[in-house]
Structure 1
Amino acid sequence: MYSSILFIDDDYNILNSFKRSLSPEYRVHVADTPEEGLRLFEEKGPFSVLVSDMRMPGMNGVEVLSKAREIDADTSRVLLTGYADQQAAIDAVNKGRIFKFLTKPCPLQTLVPVLEEGIYNYKLNVSNRFVGERTQQGLVGMLSQVLAMVNPAAQRKAHRLKNFARHMARTARPQQRMIVEMAAVLSQLGCLNLSQETMRLYDGGGIVGHEDNIRIREQFDVAARLLMHLPRFEVIIEVLGLLHKEPHQFPRYDDLEMQETIPLCTRILQTALGIDSLLASGKSPDAALAALKADQPFYDPALVDRLVDFTFALHNEVLMYVRATELTSRMVLAEDIRDDDGTLLATKGQPLANPLLAYLHKVHRRIGLPEPIGVFLPLREYDL
């Protein structure tokens, strides 16, 4: 995997030379057109290094490497140039689009060290991204658990938003799906300072007091501020900051990947918030979808259409009653759980995430819980 290299050049003699000379040490693929090269890059990847000629019919090397970066940003991208193209190559390097540029003709003693460095750089990119994503996911999980303990209703809303967003983003790139799902969960952090009663009224479309209404309007800004000092959350913060804005108010980004990702993730999450609010107010799924489609340009009709086949009803869940020792993380509470003194321990509709499950088991061992307990058991396992 780490020694896979793709060369794109319209001179087949050069491609044959590279393949003949390098194949004993590397897994070499070649393409003699930009279009074929990008197809191979997407279908046969991942590639550790991509080497592209600058001057080719239809698409130059900088454009090829830029498109490749959108497909897989981890790959080390190298540009082969003639002397006349050196300024374009320098500009591409300075803008962060490519890893290295080499002048033609390029002897093997010059090329091979660059390939080795590119392979090392690829390994480093993959490792850093893996560690970063695991760190992000761990932080999101921890914050979701905090939300569940402090404001279970807000955590339930976050879970619903995540399911809506995941469904709409199913055709997006993996990185975009991860961003929008994390943003959906973290969007409710601003509700930490809302009481359970206020959250119930807000979530159900009821009337809340003036002070609480201000907090609700500022919730996404509060969530963004809470995340500001965490590493690697810059894109999510940007998405949260745009949720109250219409598409024409979105800024433009110099980075092409961000220009595609941030507006898409924002609009998906806006649609998730819209459908959740309408359903909570008592509208049927059909009426809620029709209302969203009528509210243009704030909601994208194409995204709303992706929710048509979403399973809104609970017909895929069964209500059953279990003992406290039989509670599992696959269940959702169908009723409030209180101790013998009437103290609320967990609320109806709350997913039994592991921290809550461990807490309830601990309480049951110490003082016991009223049994049986009503729960919804999904017929298919949800990602709770």
Structure 2
Amino acid sequence: MNEKVLFVDDDESLLESVHRNFKKRYDLELAASGAQALKAMETSGPYAVVVADMAMPGMNGIEFLKKAQVLAPDTIRIMFTGHPGPVTLLESINSGQVFRFLSKPCDTEEISRVVDAGIRQYHLIAGERDLLEVTLTRSIEAMTGILEVLDPAVYLAAQTLAHRAALVARAMGVADDWSITLAALYSPLWLVSLTSEVRLQWARRKLEDPAGKAQLSAAIERAANLLQPIPKLEGVAQIVRYQGKNLDGTGIPEDSIRGEAIPLGARVLRALQDFNAIEQSVKSKYVALEELRMQRGRYDPVVLATLSVTMESFVK
């Protein structure tokens, strides 16, 4: 099948047998411990399937698969074990989300059958995830398409924001950059409910009137609440909700959330929205970035550092 499969076992003879029997069938990698396997998953993944022994020194199979699930939730997890008791079975299924068990000793044909089933499950999960992401993205694009008719300038600004946010997020190593892109595309829709005066003040970043701030805050909250009940869009709703929040806790909404507790996507949008507005005004990316840097406490310094190295690839 030529899919990436990782076998983890402290038994050197078993790993040698696995390598001999499956090196031509899979894109195979071997690890002699849980720690070694986790490092491989971080540097050489993603793997379609990981097969781990239960009884390993230092980090047993259950502990390893718990960490593997966090590191690569789509990877299918299979456990090698001698004679699993009911407690081991329950703990493995509940905490490690084990797809199948392989009882030692196990012949080559049985291992192939179970690993192949794991690969098929991996493709099913990946396909469903990709379909969901495309469906959600197209849904948001359909909504923003209405905005293209009502306000072409705002629509174009949203497209620019989404493009740049995706570049920054990928440069930061964000796995689910699609959620930031969706939030960026969706972000201008709440502007429709604002008065023209408040919209102008917000665009110029000179909104000081308490009544205008309250109107803006209510509009953003309504937009976030529309997304909140939709499955898989809870994170996007939080990005929309906190896009007006400064790193030091000031801004919108007025709550105790600050620093890294603010969703990363919101921190990215917060910086980029102001960067785009300033760049449009002064016609210089470098001046815009420097203005952001001068306002200490408002923007995430990691986001600004990433912005400085990605802005050359921005397309207007």
1:239 alignment partner in structure 2: 239
| Larger Cα-atom Rg | 1
Q: Which amino acid aligns with 1:122?
A: Y
1:273 alignment partner in structure 2: 273
What aligned pairs does 1:1-384 form with structure 2 within 5 A after superposition? 3-22=3-22, 26-41=26-41, 45-56=45-56, 59-69=59-69, 72-81=72-81, 87=87, 90-95=90-95, 97-100=96-99, 102=101, 105-108=104-107, 111-173=111-173, 175-194=175-194, 198-206=198-206, 213-245=213-245, 249-250=256-257, 263-276=263-276, 278-279=278-279, 288-290=288-290, 292-293=292-293, 295=295, 297-309=297-309, 311=311, 382=315
> CA 1:4 to 1:235, structure 2 compared with 1: closer, same or farther past 3 Å?
same
Structure 1 Cα separation of the partners of residues 208 and 146 of structure 2? 24
* Preserved contact between residue 148 and residue 155 of structure 1 (Cα < 8 Å): yes
* Preserved contact between residue 205 and residue 280 of structure 1 (Cα < 8 Å): no
* Preserved contact between residue 133 and residue 178 of structure 2 (Cα < 8 Å): no
My pick for the range that moved more, 9-18 or 65-74, is 65-74
Unaligned runs of 5+ in 1: 252-258, 313-379
Q: Which amino acid aligns with 2:215?
A: R
* 1:74 positional shift: 2.2
In the superposition, the TM-score normalised over structure 1's length comes to 0.64
Structure 2 Cα separation of the partners of residues 302 and 43 of structure 1? 22
* Preserved contact between residue 164 and residue 314 of structure 2 (Cα < 8 Å): no
Unaligned runs of 5+ in 2: 250-255
* Preserved contact between residue 158 and residue 184 of structure 1 (Cα < 8 Å): yes
Secondary structure of the 1:308 match is helix
2:252 alignment partner in structure 1: none
Structure 1 Cα separation of the partners of residues 203 and 50 of structure 2? 50
Structure 2 Cα separation of the partners of residues 150 and 19 of structure 1? 62
* 1:131 positional shift: 1.1
* 1:51 positional shift: 0.7
Structure 2 Cα separation of the partners of residues 4 and 277 of structure 1? 45
Secondary structure of the 2:51 match is strand
My pick for the range that moved more, 300-309 or 20-29, is 20-29
> CA 1:295 to 1:65, structure 2 compared with 1: closer, same or farther past 3 Å?
farther
Structure 2 Cα separation of the partners of residues 46 and 4 of structure 1? 8
* 1:208 positional shift: 8.5
> CA 1:242 to 1:55, structure 2 compared with 1: closer, same or farther past 3 Å?
farther
* Preserved contact between residue 204 and residue 280 of structure 1 (Cα < 8 Å): no
Structure 1 Cα separation of the partners of residues 243 and 309 of structure 2? 24
Structure 2 Cα separation of the partners of residues 250 and 136 of structure 1? 28
Structure 2 Cα separation of the partners of residues 62 and 143 of structure 1? 45
Secondary structure of the 2:263 match is helix
> CA 1:94 to 1:217, structure 2 compared with 1: closer, same or farther past 3 Å?
same
- Count of aligned residue pairs for this structure pair: 307
In the superposition, the TM-score normalised over structure 2's length comes to 0.76
Q: Which amino acid aligns with 1:138?
A: R
Q: Which amino acid aligns with 1:214?
A: A
* Preserved contact between residue 198 and residue 208 of structure 1 (Cα < 8 Å): no
* 1:229 positional shift: 4.7
> CA 1:88 to 1:216, structure 2 compared with 1: closer, same or farther past 3 Å?
farther
My pick for the range that moved more, 19-28 or 229-238, is 19-28
Secondary structure of the 1:187 match is helix
Q: Which amino acid aligns with 2:192?
A: L
* 1:206 positional shift: 4.9
Q: Which amino acid aligns with 2:99?
A: K
* Preserved contact between residue 151 and residue 195 of structure 1 (Cα < 8 Å): no
* 1:303 positional shift: 1.5
* 1:50 positional shift: 0.7
1:220-257 Cα offsets, whole Å, 9 max, x none, are 32221232454432221122233355668459xxxxxx
